[in-house]
Structure formats: C-alpha cells, structure tokens
Structure 1
Amino acid sequence: MLDGIPPLLTALASGADASIPDLAREVPEEEWPRLLEIVRRHGLTPLLGEAVLPHGDTCPPTVQDALRTHRDYAMLWHRIQMNDLALILEALGGASIPHLLMKGTALGFMVYRHPWLRLVGDTDLLVPADRVEEAHELALGLGFKVTEEWADAHHLPALQRESNPPIELHHQSLYVPTPEPGYTLVPVDFSLLDAEAGTVDAGGFEARVPSARDALLQLSCNFGSHMEESIARPLRWVRDYAELLGRGRVRWSEVEERIDFIAPDLRTTVLMSLALARPFIGDSYEPALLEAIDGLPNPYARLTRVVSPRDMVHEWTTSPRRAWHVLSCLMGPWRATKWSLNKLLVSREHITRQTGLSGDALCMRVYPIAFALHAIYHLRRADRSRGE
C-alpha cells in the first residue's frame, strides 16, 4: 500500500480492476465524496464505474448514480467526438492526406475495453508536415472554426464545431521537455511512424493509429511537457502505462530500440516519465527498465525523488505552488519563474508593453500575478475540455 493513498485508487491507476469491487466495499460511506473527486480529477471516473457498477453492492446508491451519470456523459462525449472525427477523416481521405490518430483517443481504441473509458479533452491528428495547412483548410470548409488564435510549435490552432471536443492537427508528434521555451521538437518523418501503424474501427470507419511503442513515446513526451500544468492528471498517464507495459503490449527493449533509431534525445524524457509512474506499476517493469531508471542523470533523478506518489495524487493537479516546485527541481527557481511566464495566455512582449518592465525586472515584479494567471488559465481550459 502506498502511504496516504486509498488502495482502491492505487488499483485503479495500476489496472488491477479485478480487485476493485472488493476494495470498494471497504471504503467507508463518508469517504466516497472525497474519493470520487480525486478519481474525477485524474480522469479515471469511467474506469471506476466500469469496475464496480456490475456489482451492485460495492458502493452506496448515491455513488452508483454518480458513476452512471459519468459513464453516460463519457459515452455521449465520445459519440460526438467520433462524429466530428468522421467528417475530418473523410475529407482527408478524399484529398489523399494520410493521418495518424494520436494520444488519448488512439489509446482508447488500442488498449482499453471501450474507447470512451479513456477520457480525452480533444482529438489529436498527426498529418505530414507539408500537408498540415491543406488539412486545416479542409476542416474550415467543413464548418470547423478556430477556437483560439493560439498554436504550438507542433500543431496548428485548435478547431471546433459548436461546443464539441476540439481537434488539433499536428505536424510533429515527439518533443523533449527543456527549460525554455518548454520543450524542443524532435523531427520525425511521418512515413516512419506510419510504417508501423495499424488500423482501428472508430465507430464504423477506419482510423490509423501508431504502434504500441510509438504510442508510448508520444505518451511520455506529452507527460513530460505537461507535468508542470494543473491539468496534468498524472494517474491517467499511469493507467496508460499500465495498459501498455503492464499487460505486455510492448516491451522496454522494443521501446529502447525505437528511441535509439529515431530520436536518442527522447531517452531521458521517457525514463523520467516512467520513473514517476514506478511507485504504482513498478512491479510490472522489466529488470532492464528498472536499471535504466536507476541510471537517470540529475536533475531528473532528483525530480523523481522529491515527487512522491502522494504528491501526484493529492497535490500535483491542484496546486500552482506545487507545479512551480516541480519546475524548480528541474531548472532552479529563477529559470522556473521565467519559464512560467512563457506559458501565459498573453506574451511576455505584451506584458512589457503594458508594464514597461522587461528581463529580470519583469520576472520579479510580475511573477506572483503571472503564475496565478497561468494556473487559472489552464484550470479554465480543463473545465472547458473535461470529458465529464
């Protein structure tokens, strides 16, 4: 048992679903509201419902009702997501633009019993870099609109129809967390990922998904780049790792071979992410993976020592102060302060124009407000995109 963490939550994160009904019976009724909130915050509510609802005596009736509501909403969110995805994929197919479904949506089809069990906030599609603008124009022609004039180095601005799940068109899928501006891209040719891809039935139409080892690399990059944010939901990533590694869908030797072939710089990012998941699912790690984690260089090894499982469950996703602490472990307090400014909705240049401050003075004077805004911004994004 992990200190300070309910056994039910540990079982849910590690994929030990068979033990969840009995563990649920041991939860005192007065503790259920708090436990449900933690599960919801980490994006695991549909998985809990799937494990306990077939066994009617596992939890109080009010909890069962709440889990049914979450399940119905997750299924509805997924159907809406698939309807929009079908429109995009039909247009891409007509223009002979290849695609790969990525991240959480792909994992839902690849490793979960039902795709809606893997909650997602948006749909991520990877297309060749030289055709991403064409794909974007096709989506606009279908009635999708740019929801925010913001793009990252690896994807164009998000597209959305009405209040449906947003869709992001990516032209790069792998990136390495760095101090500033947050990560660096790892250029990988689309054809290299597509060569190992498979096909899934996404609600009556075919969608291409990456191989298990490429999905794990994408997952690790996403975990590494988002771990400072209040929407990190680390236990959802832990469960993904449990489904990929713990159930033998991919072996560490296969992942390591892929890293060495396409992007050696990813090695530390992948190992750091797996090290943070180790307290929950380390029993399923191969000896070679454990040895590689133990050999992590500083400061990444330091991060895995100071961030405990309790931090991940109770603090990481709710505390801006905790997020800053995680950053400062990696790069020192001063650089973490500068980095947080880069993640603001408004640019540093805009703040400079408004305040007349720049450089270190900007960080010293604006930091307290800046980091609060950073946290509020991402919490609002989470509220808008939460599939619950």
Structure 2
Amino acid sequence: MINDGVLADGNAGEKMKGGCLGDGSNWRVWAVIDELETNGLSASTPDEEFTTITSRVVCVLKQWANEFAGLQTWQSLLNKNALLHEVEESIVALHLFQTWLDKRNSKSPVTLVDVCCGKGITSLLASFLFRRELYQVVALDKNASINWHHIKAANMIAANGRPRIMIWGDTNLHEIDALVERLGAIGTTLAFIGIHLCKNLSPAAVGLANNLLGVCDFLLLAPCCLPRQARNYAKFKYGPVEGQRFASFVIPVRIHESEEDRKLRLEANARRANAKRRFANMPCILCDEIHPIKKCSLLPCDESERFEIFRRAEDLSPCWRCGELGHKKEQCQKGQDSAKPRLVLPPTVEMDVATIEKEKSLFEGYCNLLAKSIQLTDVKVIDVGMVNSAASLNNSANHDNWNAERKSIYIVAVASD
C-alpha cells in the first residue's frame, strides 16, 4: 500500500537486453506520438482548439519515449494498449484546465487532484506541463495495488522543477467526510479532474466538490458507464421486464454542508454508534482486548479492587439509549422517541433519471442532470465529438448502447473569482 505523501525512492531501472522489453523502440508510445502528430485528436471540435495542448503533450511524450522507453519501470504505462485512448482524454481535460488557469484572477497556489487516477497518465502529464502553475498533484485511487512505479521514478528525476505527485492509494471516493477533511488540510486551492469515473463515482466526485466549496474552484468530469439507477430507467423505458417498475431511478448527490453542521452530524452518529454497542463488544479497560471485563485474566483477586474496576468500566460504557457516557440506560433522561439516536444523514439532492425522457440520448441526459447538481458557479456540458470505439459501431448514440458518448462528453464547473 502507498501511504499518504510517500514519494518513494523509485528506481528508473535499466533497459533489459534480450528480454521482452528490448530497447523500447516498438513500444506503443511511439505509435501514439505518430498518430497525434499526423492526425491530431479524433474529435469533431475544430482542431485549432486543441493544437497547442496537443503539441505540448507530444513533446512530453517524446521526452518520455526517448528517456524511458525500454525501462521496466515505465513499461506498464508507455506500452499499454489503451495509451492513445487515455492520452486523448487527458489532452481534452488538460486543455480545459489550462483555459481555467489562464482566466484566473487569483495567483494562489493550486493542487490538482486526479480523481480515480488509474495509472496516473493525467497526473504525469499535468506535472510536466504545468511546472509553474501547480503546487502539487494528488493522484488518488481506491485500488492500492496499481503499479505506480513510473510515478515514483518521475518524482525522482533531479533538477526538473516539477510539482510532485502525491499518491493516495486505498482512497475511497465515497468516503466524502474523510476526504473533505484530508483535502481541506492541504491548504491550497483545489482543482479536480475525474476521467472515466464509472457508475456512482461521478456523483460522488460532485458531492466531494460541493462539500469543498470555497476550496475546490475547478471540477472536470468525464463520466463513464452509467449508474445502476440510469440503467434501471433505460431497461424500464426501452424494454420493461417483470418487476422493473419498482427499481429506483433516483441518484442522491451530496450538497454543501457547513463545517459546523458536519461536525454536529458526525458527533450525533458517533453517539448512535456508541448506543448500538454492547458492553461485551467494547475493549477491556485492563488489556484492551474485546471481551467482558468480568472475564479478563488480569482481574485482581482482591474483591474491593475488582469492584472498583467494574465501576470504572461501567462509567466508560455508553448509555445504550442515547450513546453518551456517565449513566446507564435506566437512568437516561433524554427525551428521544426512539430506542437509540436516529441516524443523521448528510444533505443531498435527488437526481431523478426519469426526468431526462426528452433528451436525445440517455448518456447526454444523464450528464446534463448530473451537471445541475454541481454547486460551483459556472457549469457547462461540452461535447467535443471524440471518436469512441463503441460509438463508431453505432453512428449515433442509441438505446442499445447507453454509454456510446462516454469519451465525448465532459462536464466543466468553475468558481467565480
């Protein structure tokens, strides 16, 4: 597992001779460079819009290819099958990010957060392209076993003046409360980029950005496969099956919650958790293991000492009704009408997918609906016309291929200065 803030002493390694890696001359990165130089992006958006950023990315790719092709550390990135696909998506995202940077009035430092980063191609490109503009890059992903050796190696390149890439492995995007605290502690303006966020990860990213209003000033999302609720709607509308009418079409999205309200909610839910615990399931005050205090092998023989220990343990046990310390359930004077404190949920807005019936495609309708839940000031849904292998098989998005536009539509939201 990669720990928070660990840059690691990655080694670039040596080029393998006579092995499967060879000198790297046949690695896919060279084909990607040739494709971008020859044909540019596979997008219907006017080429000149992406010309500058594409040229800059090609220069970075050439640097990587010349210096790292053939190195085992970089093989999983520079020779991966989907490299062109991921580079193209990153080019669009980084162009929109550059546009926001150029329009900013504030010159405060920016931390770019690569949400669900995967191999980290966007993180790496950003660290090479935006040397002066970025304070650091945070690459976060739930999967802690991803091969990030190329990121560690890049962080070790001397005298480059690039922002460091901090790897946050084992990071669950759905744990919004923990991430709000962790990201807020960085102390800089935050910018989020999330590419290919599958299912409910896109709504989770929106909820995270909403709860970091005033800190997160830029959000870019490229949603991927549709959430279960949207697929439920598609099946019901275009091919209902028995029982499908009872499926949920509603997606909850977290909205902004003040720091004080969040604190009160977490405290209330902590009391609820305490109220649900039983004495036998609490750590023993003598040995810290989980068992009833009366069964602890460390209990003294003296009866008065044992009585005092039992009294202390009871004082440290929460009330089973209200969850607070200092009294028993029988002594509880809380006026609540439930057997234990009620669960306090964070504020949300409900996205009803069934409201997108008149949209020309399910995927575009879902993106437009998701955009409405974003609480940043200026929100746009942009279709860059990127060619998707799935869409190419279907000249237009249709009801049989709900995800056909997933490489083409980007949601961009920025805060006003």
Structure with greater helix share of residues: 1
Structure with greater strand share of residues: 2
- Pairwise same-fold verdict (TM > 0.5): no
TM-score after normalising by structure 2 = 0.25
TM-score after normalising by structure 1 = 0.26
Larger Rg: 2
